[in-house]
Amino acid sequence: MNYTDYLNQKRYLCLDGLRCLSILAVIWHHAGYPYWDHIYLASQGFHGVTLFFVISGFLITSLLLKEKRTKGQIDLKHFYIRRTLRIFPLYYCVLLIYILLVFVLESGTPAGTAFLDNLKYFATYTSNVFVPFIAGDRIIFFFAWSLAAEEQFYLIWPTIERMLVPIISIPLLILIIIASTYLHYTGINSENLFFKALEIIAIPICIGVVLAHALANKKCYQFIAPLITRPGASLIFLIATFASLAINGVPLILVYILMALLIASCVTSPRPIISPLFEHYVAKKIGQISYGMYLLHMLAYNLVAKIVTHLNIDYWPITFSATIALTTLLGLSSFYLFERHFLKLKKNFS
């Protein structure tokens, strides 16, 4: 695919399929991994969130750049209305469900009390800052940290994208990535506000932003095209991503870059070799409803876990398969009965 064809395409291939892979990895992390913790790759299902992040950074930035290129500027008001219609209704609906369940099932328990204490952070998308992960503790609704990180990206980056030209914003972003990576590996712990801000930045989202700019720049696109546009490149980068996750000690920044190259190889090739799998109807549908599945998957898993325990079933394929099935059912119901009504309103602000 040449540069002009890339810019003019209306839909990026395989992104829904990659979202499908992401949500299945997340479900595996909760419902399958505990039975395979002796295999390192099996313990890496949480990187499904990482792939979500890279996709999000790439896709949102690509859409912003396209709007800037075709209309001359980014309409921040319409952008935030579209994001609000996509994210807020289901998020706060699920949060309300959790509040009701905590009052009914967890009243007075340490986990229930902690949830109510943390509620202000969940409600304001700041749980990634104020709700720390403590190994061994049960933290209800903890998975919302990733949604908080994305929401903070949506809040800040479009304004930067609108105000600054790429020659300024991209070097700034790369410096942030380098600084955040350095903090991660050195383990510097400081109360300095600047260091605290760097600690909560989601580096994979930043990598996705850099990818969007790299592909939108003609010279850069033409430079990397031989590496990413061949049909077989997508399979190579998919295998390389899994290989990097299977080896203990591989730098996380390399994992993020390989995920970005996987996305790049999918969206720049007319027929990626992995498209029969990731463009399959089932994969695309799961990817389409993955946001609802992510918000609802822990409810599904906890229900399945209680049922199999009650039935005295200790066979992980049943727990894993049942969790996927129930999460998919809940995701489909959420999408067609609830989310779709808000998504239709987005057309008024496109």
pLDDT digits 0-9 by tens, 280-323: 999 999 999 999 999 999 999 999 999 999 988 878 889 999 99
Question: Which pLDDT band, with edges at 50, 70 and 90, does 193 fall under?
Answer: low
**Single pTM value for the model:** 0.93
Q: What is the pLDDT of residue 280?
A: 95
Q: Express each pLDDT in 111-149 by its tens digit.
A: 999 999 999 999 999 999 899 887 678 899 999 999 999
Q: What is the pLDDT of residue 123?
A: 97
Give me the chain's average pLDDT, please. 91
Q: Has residue 183 got a pLDDT over 60?
A: yes
Tokens 């990187």, residue? 47
Q: For the chain, what is the domain count?
A: 1
32 pLDDT band (50/70/90 cuts)?
confident
- For residue 36, the model assigns a pLDDT of 72
Q: Give the domain extent around 121.
A: 3-349
